[in-house]
Amino acid sequence: MRRRILGLVAAVVTVAAAAGCGSSSSGSGDSPASGGSKTTQVTVGIIPIVDVAPLYLGQKKGFFAERGIDLKMELAQGGAAIVPGVVSGQFQFGFSNVTSLMIAQTKGVPIKSVVNGVATNGKIGADVTGVAVKKDSPIKSAKDLAGKTVAVNTLQNIGDTTVRESVRKAGGDPSKVKFLEMPFDQMPAALDGGQVDAAWMGEPALTIAKGQGARVVASPFAETDPKLTAATYFAATKLTKENPDLVKKFTEAMTESLKYASEHPDEARQILTTYTKIDGAVLKKLTLPSWPAAVDMASLEKLAALGEEDGILGDKKPDLDALFS
């Protein structure tokens, strides 16, 4: 994934000038940002996991529409693929884990986080992500992952960074863990079929795997930091400068959506059926994350330090204040 980002950096920086402000349904002169009454179509690049439930719920409740935003969601495998789409103007906003954003910033990619996305619920053994193994696996704890193959959705990112931290805290050698990249929705079958020794999964994949008999042996987010900010919504810096009103409206709508989802977990759970292939039994059992309105800067500093330790941030440290505040 690091190679992918490095290869795309030149391209996304070159096309950054093309990063638009959203396509108005009847021309820029009628967009909300210019004082008109028409809606502005906004495309958001997302990953189809439980974390983005507030976005869909906010769309359903009209939080975006009442601010003149017509939302369109496009799916991607991970934050690393969404970053170039945001900078090129394919997406006006994107959802990405914070490590992807840090890596992109250290490579000179012009992006800025605009509103919080999701955080760990802080519960070890019952978090929104976890490392699962087959029921009869000899792996009993994170320490035993050393020398084993673990599936993650994108390489050299928040998944393997926090898995290494779990292994480190459990007394194992994090450098000995082998990681294999694959989409979340393919992980339960890969684990059950023995293609990997373990898989770091988000919901609903984690609950699906547990339904097949898998055991959770580590909760990397919660074990890294009980208040870990895992992902945020972000935009190209060009958009934040040229259309601050649109960014403000999106941020306000998303903040309202995060609050509503936190206060109405059953509705947040139900909205998953609109963008994932999930059955009723899984829906009832899956674990929800935390959706705070603000990022936790202390946890971001810890993630940045781990990224430096693992060598995925290169020689340049991320400017967390510029990126997240």
Q: Which residues share a beta bridge with 111?
A: 236
Query: Do both 202 and 240 map to the same domain?
Result: no
**What pLDDT is recorded for position 34?**
37
**What pLDDT is recorded for position 49?**
87
Length of the chain: 325
3-state secondary structure 212-281: CCCEEEECHHHHHCCCCEEEEEEEEHHHHHHCHHHHHHHHHHHHHHHHHHHHCHHHHHHHHHHCCCCCHH
**CA 32 vs CA 38, 54, 251: distances in Å:** 6, 23, 15
Domain boundary among 205, 224, 243: 224
Query: Do both 251 and 297 map to the same domain?
Result: yes
Query: Do both 88 and 57 map to the same domain?
Result: yes
Query: Do both 64 and 113 map to the same domain?
Result: yes
Domain boundary among 194, 224, 254: 224
Query: Do both 75 and 137 map to the same domain?
Result: no
Count of domains forming the chain: 2
Query: Do both 112 and 9 map to the same domain?
Result: yes
**What pLDDT is recorded for position 124?**
96
Query: Do both 234 and 210 map to the same domain?
Result: no
Q: What is the pLDDT along the chain (325 residues), one digit of tens a residue?
A: 444 443 433 333 333 333 333 333 333 333 333 344 689 999 999 988 899 999 999 999 999 999 999 999 999 866 677 999 999 999 999 999 999 999 999 999 999 999 999 999 999 999 999 999 999 999 999 999 999 999 999 898 999 999 999 999 999 999 999 999 999 999 999 999 999 999 999 999 999 999 999 999 999 999 999 999 999 999 999 999 999 999 999 999 999 999 999 999 999 999 999 998 888 888 999 999 999 999 999 999 999 999 999 899 888 899 999 999 8
Query: Do both 220 and 243 map to the same domain?
Result: no
Give the range of the structural domain holding residue 188, as residue numbers without chain letter. 129-224
pTM: 0.85
- Cβ-proximal residues to 211 (8 Å cutoff; 6+ apart), any chain: 281, 282, 285
Query: Do both 244 and 116 map to the same domain?
Result: yes
Domain boundary among 224, 242, 261: 224
**What pLDDT is recorded for position 59?**
98
> Which residue reads 């914070």 in tokens?
98
Query: Do both 19 and 38 map to the same domain?
Result: yes
Query: Do both 237 and 210 map to the same domain?
Result: no
**What pLDDT is recorded for position 2?**
40
**What pLDDT is recorded for position 37?**
60
Query: Do both 316 and 234 map to the same domain?
Result: yes
**Domain at 183, CATH number:** 3.40.190.10
Is 269 in contact with 279 (CB distance < 8 Å)? Answer: no
